[in-house]
Structure 1
C-alpha cells in the first residue's frame, strides 16, 4: 500500500474525467459511455455492480467485470457515506467510459469532502480499506472537486490482454 493515497488531488485526472460530467456536457466523448443515476440508499452499490457488469459485458469487456465491480462498489459505498450529510435523496452518479485500452469508472457525489484511505494501524477495522483496494486494482485513481457541487472520484482500469 502506497503512502501517496492521501495525496491524490485534482489535476491528475484524464481529460475525459473532467467535471463536465452530466447530460449538459458540451463535447460528449465518441467512445462508449454509460451513465447510471443512483440514490442514497443501501441498494445503490448493488445496482452499480449490476450496471457495471451489464455495461462492460455489452462492450465485450467481460474479462474486466470483476475488477470494475470491485472498484465501482468501493467508490459508490464511499459516495453513499459522504452523501449522507446531503440527505437521503442525495444524487450519486456512476459513469463508465471505454477509451482505447482503458476503462474509466467515475462516481460523482454531492460531498466536497476529500476521499481519504482509512488508517493502516488497525488490522481488525471493518472499514477504511476501500481506497487501498481501488489502488491495488486500478492503474491510477484520483478525485476532482467541483466547487459548490461535490466531487468526482475516478479510477482507471486496463483492458484485459
Structure 2
C-alpha cells in the first residue's frame, strides 16, 4: 500500500510540475492542489495557524475550479501503533474541518499507510505531516489547461 501511495504522491508532484510551469501568458496552472498540514510532535489536533492556513487554502481551491475528490493522506512508521492511531485522529480532525467548508459536497477519501522508514530517519518528518490533495474534475476527463492528458 505504501508503494501505491508513494506512486500516487509522485504522480501528483509530476503533474504539478508539468502544469505549474507556464509556457505562455495564456497557460493555466494546476499548482497549489496539495497542502501539507504540519503537526507539533505527537499532537493529533491542528494548531490555530495550521487550521487557518488549511481553511484559507481549501476555500481558495474550492472556489477556483470543480473537483472530484479530496484525498487526505497520512503515513506512520513501521509497527508504530501509537503513531498509527495519531495519524487516524489527525486525518479525522482535518476531515471535520474540511467538511465544515465543503459546500459542494466533494468526495473525501482518507488513506493511511505504514511506511518502512523509521520515525527518526531522514524522512521521519513526514510522520508529522498530513497531505491534503485536491483532484480537479478536468484530470478525470484529461482536459486540464486545454492539454489532452492520456
More helix by share: 2
